[in-house]
Chains A and B, each alone.
Chain A
């Protein structure tokens, strides 16, 4: 597609439930990033994929968060046992392998945990 797409755009879930957030990067982009943006804050890095492997997952807050990118394209961020503090906008970005810092962001998924 023309840009990074993310689904769903909004997700409301109950505390304790499991959620999956999907990111479809720009075609051909090898690097994919997940960020989380809480209200009044800038995006906070979660995890970075180069191809299929997670090159840096140091930003994941705890083991309830997990992400995969099995075929080196679409990625899924998975959150188990959601908590109210997980409520935020989850942003995905992708970049080409030649310029990691020129990241193109998707519209985000707004997650609300009730």
Chain B
């Protein structure tokens, strides 16, 4: 069965610290990988996505993620976080042709000013 694991439930960082959030997936076919973000009081928003090609993908607000097929991982990174990055981050995998997404449990990021 398809699944997504996010290892960190809650991450607390100071501003300017570097961020890496882990995501591992289990899926037998061609994967499409996503990171979504939910800022406090707002909707889920797409942060970045990987379909094929360059395994290092860049998203909005300075975020990037690297797809490592051999490790079944798609970790999210940002070199220097800001207080405004405080949010919950969800990794998701999409498989097949129907577009339904399978989400991880999410990682809450708190950035201290």
Contact = CB atoms under 8 A, between A and B. Distances in A.
Contact of A31 (B4, B43, B44, B99): B99
Given A91-B44, A101-B94, A106-B43, A42 B99 contact: no
A101 B94 CA distance: 7
A42 B49 contact: no
Interface in B2-60: 4, 32, 34, 36, 43-46, 49, 51
With most chain A CB atoms within 10 A of its CB, the pick from B46, B101, B104 is B101
Contacts of A33: 99-101
Interface residues of A, number: 27
Contacts, number: 60
B100 A42 contact: no
Interface residues of B, number: 23
Interface of A: 3-4, 31, 33, 35, 40-45, 48, 55-56, 59, 91, 93, 95, 100-108
Given A33-B99, A45-B101, A45-B102, 16 more contacts: A4-B43, A33-B101, A41-B106, A43-B90, A44-B103, A48-B99, A55-B98, A100-B98, A101-B49, A102-B46, A103-B101, A104-B46, A105-B36, A105-B44, A107-B43, A108-B43
Interface of B: 4, 32, 34, 36, 43-46, 49, 51, 90, 92, 94, 97-106
26 contacts: A3-B43, A4-B43, A31-B99, A33-B99, A35-B101, A35-B103, A40-B105, A41-B106, A42-B105, A43-B101, A43-B103, A45-B102, A48-B100, A55-B98, A56-B98, A93-B44, A95-B99, A100-B98, A101-B49, A101-B101, A103-B99, A103-B101, A104-B46, A105-B44, A107-B43, A108-B43
